[in-house]
Amino acid sequence: MAVSSTDSAVSKARQSLLDRGYKAWCENTAGTTRIKLGVRVHEPLQASLLAEKLGAVICALDKIPGLSSEALRHLSSSSDDEWSAVTVVCGDKEIIVINPSHSVGRMSTDLMHELSHLLLGHESAQTFISEEGFMIREYDEKQEAEADWLAGALLLPRKALEYIKYNHIPIEEVTQIYGVSRQLYNYRCRMTAVNRQYRY
């Protein structure tokens, strides 16, 4: 389940779980994934395009048939610490359910987080809706850390960040073009050392 954790204590703690060389692998994967999808290395990668390639279905929470209005009200929270996206398995199909009450930037990150789980071959954890209407899931902390980092690399690979900095693209345009939040953009610029590279 994707929960916003970028540049937080949770995110920093998760980074310590990543294996040596994993971050470099993510950058390479972001590049090869774009090549396979016919997207240039500095261009934005749409989650819907990757989902189609992986055979996954994206569904907004309010589009789920049979979901009661009470359950929808409980689950449609826009709080920063609430669930934002989750992958459920229906037969042989993976369905990514997205919380539509969140911002475009957060939904983009959440979708890519769930798609990263699929790219990494992570086994789906238990997911269900309780009587109270809340979605509950058991998850592996290391897998969440891996999906966090890969999602950021897929949305804003270092090559894209270099392109943005070199061409002096304003952050307002970056968030619109790449469909990401300011928080994720600033975080990726720091963590990839692009800020230092283009300081002058």
One digit per residue, the tens of pLDDT, for the chain of length 200 reads 554 444 454 566 678 889 999 999 999 999 999 999 999 999 999 999 999 999 999 988 878 777 667 666 666 665 555 667 888 887 888 888 888 888 889 889 999 999 999 999 987 665 555 544 445 556 688 999 999 999 999 999 999 999 999 999 999 999 999 999 999 999 999 999 999 988 76
d(CA 9, CA 91): 37
Nearest to 139 by CA among 129, 149, 125: 125
Q: Give the type of residue at 125.
A: A
Would you list the domain boundaries of the chain? 9-197
pLDDT at residue 101, rounded to an integer: 80
Q: Is the dihedral of CA 28, 178, 50, 184 positive or negative?
A: positive
pLDDT at residue 42, rounded to an integer: 95
| Both structure tokens of 198 | 């283009």
How many residues are present in the chain?
200
pLDDT at residue 88, rounded to an integer: 80
pLDDT at residue 133, rounded to an integer: 44
pLDDT at residue 102, rounded to an integer: 83
Whose structure tokens read 């992986």? 54
pLDDT at residue 7, rounded to an integer: 46
pLDDT at residue 68, rounded to an integer: 67
What is the value of pTM for the model shown?
0.83
